[in-house]
Amino acid sequence: MNHGGNMVGIEDVAAAAGVSTATVSRAIRGLPRVSPRTRAKILATAKELGYVPSSAASRLASGKTHTIGVLAPYVDRWFFGKAIAGVDRELHGRGYNLSLFNLGGRTQPRERLFSKAMVQKQIDALLLLCMYLHQEEIEDLHAIDMPLVVVGGPVPGLSNVGIDDYQAARTITEHLIELGHRHIALLHGQDDSDLNFSVPRIRVEGFHDAVHQAGLEFDPDTALFGNFTVESGVEAMRRFLELPAPRPTAIVCASDEMALGVMFEARRHGIRIPEELSVVGIDGHEMAAAVGLTTVWQDPTAQARRGTQMLLAELGGDEGAVHPENAEQRLIVRESTAPPRH
């Protein structure tokens, strides 16, 4: 253990092992063209000396940062937390670092983070978590010259891994229809600025199509809005309760978090679920299971891992590794849905 001062460098190892720095470099990075014996010796002395390569020097010389950037609009929300965990799990152990860029929900007044150069010099590849994007940001993204994948909602022109949101919304809505519901309310998920954030819109489309194809009508007055949070679900339920009778017998929420808010507030008002109101969500939040919410399950962690694998493969020279891919989703019927009473 040598303290503070002069960290041991590659030259020290080279000298101690009686070889050149070039050989040490190859040996340590597991490159070929090093005899087993020399490699063993080098590795041994390196460990003995407590040598750790300077990533800064390595970056400069090689041009590789061994860092993956993750751009997320939030980190403290279900989908994003799960996804970030997935990226990390995939990176960990492969010697890659995870650099987190959290846009903190700020929408308008955010600098052009993607500006080619700014990001390009810090990371080898970018994983974008689904979010709203301004037109110019999308353009910047297209201009970025490095492996790039988006996890979650689709972004025009970019490869993404995620569920089929349209189908998810249809599935969950049809479940309600099959149970006999004819009057269904919708809690839109609408983010701060959804100019190009397609997930909310796509889910809504799935809902509408399911309703219309069943020959039902959607009463625009029963369209509620929320921003994907539990709180907004609570508020939406308050507004729902003010709707004139006959009220819808079911409500489809664009996310589990909002659905949970709806359920909580319903209970608070003594409305029994599912007897008086059926509630469904989309996502597969752990709490959804705990409260018995019927939903379409998805696994953001797995999606993020998949996206990361693609990025890594592409970096490893496997061209075309990054490509659009649909993720697993599954209807899970629990106790928040039942036939309407009438």
Q: Which is nearer to its own copies, 118 or 212 (CB)?
A: 118
By CB under 8 A, what part of segment 56-115 binds its own copies?
56-57, 59-60, 63, 65, 67, 74-78, 80-82, 84-85, 88-89, 92, 97-102, 104, 115
Q: Which is nearer to its own copies, 57 or 333 (CB)?
A: 57
Interacting partner of 229 out of its own copies, DNA, none (Cβ under 5 to 8 A depending on kind): its own copies
Name the phi and psi angles at 175, rounded to 5.
-55, -45
Measure the CA–CA gap between 235 and 260, rounded to whole angstroms: 11
Min separation Cβ 135 and its own copies, Å: 17
Tell me the two tokens of residue 197: 């954030």
Pairing of strands 97-102, 294-298: unpaired
8 A C-beta contact, residue 70 and residue 129: yes
Interacting partner of 342 out of DNA, its own copies, none (Cβ under 5 to 8 A depending on kind): none
- Asked if omega into 73 is within 30° of 0 (cis), the reply is no
8 A C-beta contact, residue 227 and residue 277: no
Residue 116-135 contact track with its own copies, rule CB under 8 A, x = bound: xxx--xx-------------
Q: Which H or E element spans position 204?
A: helix 198-213
Interacting partner of 236 out of its own copies, DNA, none (Cβ under 5 to 8 A depending on kind): none
Q: Which is nearer to its own copies, 29 or 267 (CB)?
A: 267
Contacts of 98 (CB under 8 A, 6+ apart): 67, 68, 70, 84, 87, 88, 91
Specify the stretch interacting with its own copies by CB under 8 A; choose among 22-30, 49-57, 180-188, 202-210.
49-57
- CA pseudo-torsion sign 70, 72, 77, 78: negative
Contact residues for DNA, defined by CB under 7 A: 7, 9-11, 18-23, 25-26, 28-29, 32-35, 37-39, 51, 53-54, 56-58, 60-64
Min separation Cβ 323 and its own copies, Å: 22
Q: Which is nearer to its own copies, 22 or 52 (CB)?
A: 52
8 A C-beta contact, residue 174 and residue 207: no
Q: Which one-letter DSSP state was computed for residue 232?
A: H
Measure the CA–CA gap between 157 and 54, rounded to whole angstroms: 37
Angle subtended at Cα 119 by Cα 117 and Cα 124, rounded to the nearest 5 degrees: 105
Question: Is 285 in a helix, a strand, or coil?
Answer: coil
Min separation Cβ 138 and its own copies, Å: 16
Q: Which is nearer to DNA, 42 or 253 (CB)?
A: 42
Residue 251-280 contact track with its own copies, rule CB under 8 A, x = bound: ---------xx--xx-xx------------
Q: How far is CA 76 from its chain centroid?
A: 12
Tell me the two tokens of residue 333: 């019927």
Min separation Cβ 96 and DNA, Å: 14
Interacting partner of 22 out of DNA, its own copies, none (Cβ under 5 to 8 A depending on kind): DNA
Residues that bind its own copies (CB under 8 A): 1, 3-4, 7, 50-57, 59-60, 63, 65, 67, 74-78, 80-82, 84-85, 88-89, 92, 97-102, 104, 115-118, 121-122, 143, 145, 229-231, 233-234, 260-261, 264-265, 267-268, 286-287, 289-292, 301
